[in-house]
Amino acid sequence: MNSLIPEDPVSLVLAAEDCAPSEFEALHVFTPADDNTLSKLVAHGPVLLRGGRGTGKSALMIEAARRLAPESKESTGWGVYISLRHLELLRSRGDAYEKFLCSLIIRQLEETVESFSSEGLDPSVPTLQRALTGIYSETGKRIVLFFDDAAHIGREASLQEFFDIFRTISSSVVSCKAAIYPGVTKFGSRFDVYNDATVVDVSRNEELPGYPEIFSSIISARYPTVPDTCFSGVLSKIAIGGILAQSVLGNMRAFVFACNLLFESAGNKPIGLPAIQQTMLSLSSNYFWPLLDELRPKLGMYEPLIEPAQRIATVLYEHAAQSGSRKSVLVHRDVVERLAKLFEILEYVGFISRREASRAMKSGGRGARYALNLCALLEQVPGARLTQELYAQWASPDKLEPVQFHKTGSHFSEFKLPDLSAEKDLGIFQLSISYLGKSKAYPYGLTEAKMQILEEAGFSTIGELAEASDGRLLALPSVGQATLQRFRNVLGQAVWM
Amino acid sequence: MLVLKQMRKLVNQTTTCFEWLKDQPDQQAAFLGPYLARSLLEVAMSAIVARCDPFRVLIVREIQASAHYSAGERVKAALQWQGDILPPKDSPELWSIDKEPEKFSRSLLGPYYEHLYWTPAFQRMVDEIEIGRGGAWLSDFRTWGIAGAMKRIRAEVGKLYCTFSKGVHHEILLERVVMFDRLSMASYAADALKHISLIALASHLAPQVHASLPLDAALAAFEKTQETVLL
């Protein structure tokens, strides 16, 4: 039906960093608001790009790099995109971390700047600084380093090293840009977030004018062959783009997932509220809730926080549904401060999105306002039905006060956090490789045939597979470059965020 | 009012020059961009100082009108970026009883203005302005938190001024067209306007500030500035 809904819909859901360069342009659409973020990324100066999972950080960084040399030959800067999805970076500290990170940067510089050779360079910060200055002197172009997956929520020990190096190599000709998550709060003692970088939040806010139109244009660009009949019913393309995007809090990956589900089930028929309802409920149970399970083994010392995060989400949604299905909540700042990590986890997986850090509460005091994921909210609405009235309420600008959770006497006042042990290795490495099979938690997982190849070769844990060299994997039967890349992509999604 | 009218004229002239600069070749844009951007920061912030603390600029005006004034001599009372706009350094104890009156910094973005003017004005900004108004700038501001907002504005404005100054003082021996290329200058200028506009909007919600506009008019001007920048 649609050339952009492939036989294996997984390829559309995979993250931008796993997308082949030749397909990147066709599969990614950037809005005027994205252009504003992109201008900060291509400009000189350090930037931290902060956003939850699937918000499009990687796509923005890759696109920014593409707008610089060598892709854009006229540009005054080199764009060097560096994925930091490497086991060594998660497991090393101090000098070992510095050495590995510097070698990664040098290797990527060599791939990006044709005239640059790394021969004879030892991977250290001073050498790297000299190399970067040398590239500027020789080519007359500044250098922009894009660090993707720079910070792992479950492994904070190496963050100090990373941000030290980020700060040290930034100069009048070198700008560093790093993608981080809302839960990343430890930057080391020498890095001042606001003085040493500009923080740019990647968030698409349904409260701003033009929001449905943006997502409608994304539908047009990514699904050009969806027939017009689909948009000829009570819901126009703009209305569908608006409600779907709002349902997933503007999360780009979830939006694509939602569109895939909706258009596959719609066929040529006009899309109405029942189809939207079905898509939303399916997303809630098959995408968002499983994401919390997927996240658990990646959290390291924060693993025990998954259960309380699930409970908090349930409380938020139940209460909002009982209070007129209001689509935002206002939580007293003392509660948010005390349970900060839980709210960060929920924000990371896309259950909530912070719209205001401080707003006056009726009971006195101030609180943080979060927009709610409408898919999870719909599940809690009596009958789980998206009626005309409910659609009209959700699709219009929010006139209802957010549901308020006060400091005392609210559902959270008695909420206790579990004790957290000191830094520990990520649980994901000890899990069986069967965990990487396609499932609700891993919609992009490996097929049974590929799992069998690995099992027959004696791989039993994800850690073993992660440590295997390319050579060892390529020596397996029926494994060529494409399958190797598939293994690496799935591993990347499983281990990183 | 004469002082404010003069400052308004300066702001308009600077923005007109920016418009002109857009069509100039890269070399000229990289050479003049930092001058104009720094001028815009200085004059816009000085205009807000004039509304917050008329005494301060009236003194300067009287000195300039006096017979003692000479364009060739430094005026010690002239408005200074470091001091009138940015605080000399953070004062750990704001309300010490041992502090001399002159030690209470009157920097526009300093801790005393923050406590007395900006924090209450920021609260009104997020509580009284309808959600959805104010565009992406106000939407972004709402996520910063009142307590950390001024620290963030101070840091960003300080970094921008420092960057522009490097293009003004010729201390940078690197190629200007690289350091101040169009992509970077456009981003810097947009950031400068964003932070100026946020402080300006807040100033109309601080009851101590003179020549305030009704909130609707201030918000409309804020939105119009933003649309111009994001076009």
Q: Which residues of chain A have a CB within 8 Å of the CB of B155?
A: 192, 194-195
Within a 10 A sphere around the Cβ of A221, how many other Cβ atoms? 14
Q: Which residues of chain B have a CB within 8 Å of the CB of A366?
A: 123, 146
Partners of A174 in the beta sheet?
A143
Q: Compute the distance between CA of residue B32 and CA of residue B168 in angstroms, rounded to an integer.
A: 9
Q: Compute the distance between CA of residue A308 and CA of residue B167 in angstroms, rounded to an integer.
A: 52
C-beta atoms of A39 and B191 within 8 A: no
Identity of the residue in A172, A207, A358 whose CB atom sits nearest the CB atom of B146: A358
- At CB < 8 Å, which residues of chain B contact A? 123, 126-127, 131-132, 135-136, 139-140, 142-148, 151-152, 155-156, 158-159, 163, 166, 172, 174-175, 177-179, 181, 183-184, 186-188, 190-191, 230
Q: Are A467 and A87 in contact (CB under 8 A)?
A: yes
C-beta atoms of B139 and A172 within 8 A: no
For the segment B110-122, the average pLDDT, to the nearest whole number, is 97
pLDDT at A17 exceeding the cut of 80? no
pLDDT at B97 exceeding the cut of 80? yes
Least confident of A231-245, A348-362, A394-408, A418-432: A418-432
Enter the ipTM. 0.90
Q: Which residues of chain A have a CB within 8 Å of the CB of B187?
A: 39-40, 42-43, 45
Chain B residue with the nearest C-alpha to that of A355: B143
Residue identified by tokens 């990520």 is A426
For A282, list phi and psi in degrees, rounded to 5.
-65, -40
C-beta atoms of B178 and A397 within 8 A: no
Q: Tokens standing for A372?
A: 């709610």
User: Which string of b and e fits B119-156 if b means at least 16 CB within 10 Å?
Assistant: bbbbbbbbeebebbbbbbbbbbbbbbbbeebbbbbbbb
- pLDDT category, A404, cuts 50, 70, 90? very high
For the segment A194-202, the average pLDDT, to the nearest whole number, is 90
pLDDT at A400 exceeding the cut of 50? yes
pLDDT (0 to 100) of residue A4: 39
Chain A residue with the nearest C-alpha to that of B141: A356
Chain A residue with the nearest C-alpha to that of B177: A76
Within a 10 A sphere around the Cβ of A209, how many other Cβ atoms? 11
Q: Which of A10-24, A302-316, A427-441 has the highest mean pLDDT?
A: A302-316
Q: Are A330 and A405 in contact (CB under 8 A)?
A: yes
C-beta atoms of B174 and A201 within 8 A: no
Q: Compute the distance between CA of residue A463 and CA of residue A454 in angstroms, rounded to an integer.
A: 13
Q: Are A332 and A407 in contact (CB under 8 A)?
A: yes
- At CB < 8 Å, which residues of chain A contact B? 32-33, 36, 39-40, 42-45, 75-77, 136, 140-142, 172-173, 192, 194-195, 198, 201, 203, 205, 207-209, 354-360, 366, 397-398
Percent of all residues in chain A with a pLDDT value above 70, rounded to a whole number: 94
A367 or A210, which is more confident: A367
Q: Tokens standing for A318?
A: 């139940």
User: For residue range B149-164, what is the model confidence (pLDDT) as tens digits?
Assistant: 999 999 999 999 999 9
User: Which string of b and e fits A83-122 if b means at least 16 CB within 10 Å?
Assistant: bbbbeebbbbeeeebbbbbbbbbbebbbebbeebeeeebe
Residue of B26, B124, B127, B131 best to disrupt the A interface, most CBs of A under 10 A: B131
pLDDT at B227 exceeding the cut of 70? yes
C-beta atoms of B140 and A201 within 8 A: yes
- pLDDT category, A1, cuts 50, 70, 90? very low
Q: Compute the distance between CA of residue A82 and CA of residue A69 in angstroms, rounded to an integer.
A: 15
Please give the full DSSP string across B14-28, using - where no structure is assigned: HHHHHHHHHTS-HHH
pLDDT (0 to 100) of residue A7: 42
Report the candidate in B189, A445, A166 with the shortest Cα–Cα distance to residue B180: B189
Residue of A39, A139, A369 best to disrupt the B interface, most CBs of B under 10 A: A39
Interaxial angle between packed helices B119-128 and B135-142, expressed in degrees from 0 to 180 and rounded to the nearest 10: 120
For the segment A460-487, the average pLDDT, to the nearest whole number, is 91
For the segment B106-125, the average pLDDT, to the nearest whole number, is 97
Q: Compute the distance between CA of residue B156 and CA of residue B133 in angstroms, rounded to an integer.
A: 23
User: For residue range A264-274, what is the model confidence (pLDDT) as tens digits?
Assistant: 999 889 999 99
pLDDT (0 to 100) of residue A158: 67
Is A332 strand, coil or helix?
strand
C-beta atoms of B132 and A203 within 8 A: no
Q: Which residues of chain A have a CB within 8 Å of the CB of B151?
A: 194
Identity of the residue in B126, B131, B163 whose CB atom sits nearest the CB atom of A358: B126
pLDDT at A88 exceeding the cut of 70? yes
Q: Which residues of chain A have a CB within 8 Å of the CB of B179?
A: 44, 142, 172-173
User: For residue range B16-71, what is the model confidence (pLDDT) as tens digits?
Assistant: 998 899 899 999 999 999 999 999 999 999 999 999 999 999 999 999 999 999 98
C-beta atoms of A172 and B179 within 8 A: yes
Percent of all residues in chain A with a pLDDT value above 90, rounded to a whole number: 63
Q: Compute the distance between CA of residue A383 and CA of residue A473 in angstroms, rounded to an integer.
A: 50
Q: Which residues of chain A have a CB within 8 Å of the CB of B181?
A: 44, 76-77, 142
For A35, list phi and psi in degrees, rounded to 5.
-60, -35
Q: Tokens standing for A63?
A: 């696109």
Q: Are A371 and A352 in contact (CB under 8 A)?
A: yes
Q: Are A135 and A143 in contact (CB under 8 A)?
A: yes
Least confident of A239-243, A364-368, A414-418: A414-418
Q: Are A489 and A473 in contact (CB under 8 A)?
A: no
Q: Which residues of chain A have a CB within 8 Å of the CB of B152?
A: 194
Domain ranges of chain B: 2-66+78-88+106-225
For the segment A140-147, the average pLDDT, to the nearest whole number, is 96
Handedness of CA A415, A249, A37, B162 (dihedral sign): negative
Q: Compute the distance between CA of residue A267 and CA of residue A450 in angstroms, rounded to an integer.
A: 31
Within a 10 A sphere around the Cβ of A361, how many other Cβ atoms? 18
- pLDDT category, B231, cuts 50, 70, 90? low
Q: Compute the distance between CA of residue A77 and CA of residue A69 in angstroms, rounded to an integer.
A: 6
Pairing mode of beta strands A142-148, A77-83: parallel
Q: Which residues of chain B have a CB within 8 Å of the CB of A40?
A: 187, 191
User: For residue range B170-223, what is the model confidence (pLDDT) as tens digits?
Assistant: 777 778 888 899 989 999 999 999 999 999 999 999 999 999 999 999 999 999
Report the candidate in A162, A150, A176 with the shortest Cα–Cα distance to residue A93: A162
* Residue A486 Cα distances to A122, A272, A460, A461, B101, angstroms: 32, 37, 18, 17, 68
A407 to chain B nearest CA, in Å? 18
Q: Which residues of chain B have a CB within 8 Å of the CB of A36?
A: 136, 190, 230
- pTM across the whole model: 0.91
Q: Compute the distance between CA of residue A108 and CA of residue A106 in angstroms, rounded to an integer.
A: 5
Q: Compute the distance between CA of residue A143 and CA of residue A113 in angstroms, rounded to an integer.
A: 10
Chain A residue with the nearest C-alpha to that of B136: A208
A293 or A378, which is more confident: A378
CB-defined contacts A:B, below 8 A = 103
Please give the full DSSP string across A143-157, using - where no structure is assigned: EEEEEET--BTTB-T
**Mean pLDDT, rounded, of chain A:** 89
Partners of A50 in the beta sheet?
A180, A201
C-beta atoms of A201 and B230 within 8 A: no
